[in-house]
Structure 1
Amino acid sequence: MAGAPRIFVSHLAGVPVFDPQGDQVGRVRDLVAMLRVGRRPPRLLGLVVEVLSRRRIFLPMTRVTGVESGQVITTGVLNVRRFEQRPTERLVLGELLDRRVQLVDSGEEVTVLDVSIQQLPARRDWEIDKAFVRKGRAGALRRRGETLTVEWSAVTGFSLDEDAQGAESLVATFERMRPADLANVLHHLSPKRRAEVAAALDDDRLADVLEELPDDDQIEILGKLKEERAADVLEAMDPDDAADLLSELPEEDQERLLTLMRPDDAADVRRLLSYEEHTAGGLMTTEPIVLRPDATVADALARVRQQDLSPALAAQVYVCRPPDETPTGKYLGTVHFQRLLRDPPFTLVSSLVDSDLPPLSPGTPLPAVTSYLAAYNMVAAPVVDEGGSLLGAVTVDDVLDHLLPEDWRETEFEESAHG
Structure 2
Amino acid sequence: YNPKLHLHFNDAREFLLTAKKQYDLIVSEPSNPYRAGIANLYTREFYQSVSSRLNQSGLFLQWVQGYEVDDRTVMIVLQTIRSVFPNIQIWRTKTGDMVLVCGKSAAAFPEDVASLRRNMKENTIREGLNRGWGVDDAEGVIAHYVCGNTTIDRLLSEGSYPLNQDDRNLLEYAFAKTVGKTVRFSIQDLHLRAVQTQDDSPVPADQLSQETIAQRRLAMYLFLGTVVPNEKHRSETQQLRADAFNLYLAKRYADAVARFQRMDIDFTSAIELTAYAHALAEAGESVPDRVMQTLNENNPTQAAAVQAIALFQQRQYDRAADQILTTFQLLQANPWGSSQLFDAVLQKSVALSDIDSSKALPIYKQLHQPFALYRLEDKRLLVRYVVSEQLEKIQIVEALKSLEPNVPWKGWLLESRAKIYAAAHHPLAAQAKSDLQRFKSWNR
Same fold (TM over 0.5): no
- Shorter-chain TM-score category? 0.3 to 0.5
State the TM-score, normalizing by the size of structure 2.
0.32
Q: TM-score, normalised by structure 1?
A: 0.33
Larger helix proportion of the pair: 2
Max Rg structure? 2
Higher strand share: 1
